Amino acid sequence: MERILVLPGDGIGPEVTREAQRVLEVVGAESGLALEFEEDLIGGAAIEAHGTPLADETVERARSCRAVLLGAVGGPRWDDMAVDVRPEKGLLRIRKELELFANLRPAAVFPALASASTLRPEVVDGIDLLVVRELTGGIYFGEPRGRGEVDGLREARNTMVYDESEIARIARVAFESAGRRRGEVTHVHKANVLEVSQLWMEVVAEVARDFPEVRLDHQLVDSMAMLLLREPARYDVIVTGNLFGDILSDEAAMITGSLGMLPSASLGEGGVGLYEPVHGSAPDIAGQDLANPLAAILSAAMLLEHSLDAPKPAARIRDAVTRVLEEGHRTSDLAAPDQTPLGCRAMGDQVLAQLSGS
């Protein structure tokens, strides 16, 4: 029995994770995967119940499960609380407790949604890339850091630091992912000025030797920022450190055009993966059955692929989503003015209908 912990969170989180769970239940049963779902609290919901955005028992429960499916956290109700006890802290804590060092953000364009991108259709056509970002090291965590005063002037410093083991493990995730995709890794760096990037070049190339079927390229981060706009369809897997990955994953996401369509996976040393839509809790539409559940449903597909080694059921979900969109179904975030949008539940129903018909 594979236990999956669902942490719906706040706002639209419960609405979208409910649809993702329904899809997993159907696909799991049809594929002979024995899935068992448990539910717990995170974010504002956990603050209300336990006075903390993530209870210790929830952490323990997550550790004992195979994967975590998360909705989103946060909302105006908790905006005035101290930073240390706010909903977002629950998210940061679970990522830390599960030692999630690899963040995977696919950016793929569904042909039916190509017009949602700000780029021209011929540039957008065929985009199907994956940004693999190192999540627990680099300049966001390096020491020394802080602010001070030197000779009467305010000064601040941060330190970009990686050791070879941190680089090798994220590179491995990228090469393994590429092996299941089109077999190409682009390593993004700034080795012309940073020693840290020079070490990345060396270590990524060393890891590449274990993956002879995958082609490796190196690209300067400033060029990459331009190339992603000029020829995004050229790229398969992009691997990079925390800072560059933070920026490039958002850039890649935007070229596909719609926040409600973007899934993510975070993988760690402990073997428990965390899967969540990229969007937030959307308090403006929460509780109204207006949310687009497809990012959560596509996150569930990533869960099958990465935590349960079930790429075929994962592909079935993605195909079902593609067909639903091709048939013209849209939630309100995607609908054109002349289209009647579907609610969150009805969109989930459409995906389930495609799955049972396929």
Q: Which residues bind ligand NAD (CB under 6 A)?
A: 12, 16, 72-75, 88, 91, 259-260, 276, 279-285, 291-292, 295, 333
Count the alpha carbons within 13 Å of 50 in the hemisphere toward its beta carbon: 17
CB of 69 to ligand NAD, least distance (A): 13
CB of 334 to ligand NAD, least distance (A): 8
- Kindly tell me which of 138 and 280 has the beta carbon lying closer to ligand NAD: 280
The question of whether 246 is a catalytic residue gets the answer yes
The pair of three-digit structure tokens given for residue 175, joined into one six-digit string:
């090469």
Cα–Cα distance for residue pair 289/286, rounded to 1 Å = 7
One of 40, 190, 235, 275 is an active-site residue; which one?
190
Contacts of 129 (CB under 8 A, 6+ apart): 106, 107, 108, 232, 235, 236, 237, 238, 252
CB of 42 to ligand NAD, least distance (A): 9
- Kindly tell me which of 190 and 330 has the beta carbon lying closer to ligand NAD: 330
Cα–Cα distance for residue pair 144/109, rounded to 1 Å = 41
The question of whether 96 is a catalytic residue gets the answer no
- Kindly tell me which of 192 and 340 has the beta carbon lying closer to ligand NAD: 340
The question of whether 284 is a catalytic residue gets the answer no
- Kindly tell me which of 39 and 184 has the beta carbon lying closer to ligand NAD: 39
- Kindly tell me which of 289 and 319 has the beta carbon lying closer to ligand NAD: 289
- Kindly tell me which of 112 and 214 has the beta carbon lying closer to ligand NAD: 112
One of 250, 289, 319, 349 is an active-site residue; which one?
250
CB of 168 to ligand NAD, least distance (A): 28
CB of 87 to ligand NAD, least distance (A): 7
One of 79, 217, 222, 284 is an active-site residue; which one?
222
CB of 237 to ligand NAD, least distance (A): 23
Q: With contact defined as beta carbons under 8 Å apart, do 307 and 66 qualify?
A: yes
One of 128, 140, 289, 319 is an active-site residue; which one?
140
Backbone φ and ψ of 276, nearest 5°: -155, 150
- Kindly tell me which of 135 and 291 has the beta carbon lying closer to ligand NAD: 291
The pair of three-digit structure tokens given for residue 64, joined into one six-digit string:
């004992």
CB of 259 to ligand NAD, least distance (A): 5
The question of whether 56 is a catalytic residue gets the answer no
The question of whether 140 is a catalytic residue gets the answer yes
One of 236, 246, 275, 333 is an active-site residue; which one?
246
Active site residues: 140, 190, 222, 246, 250
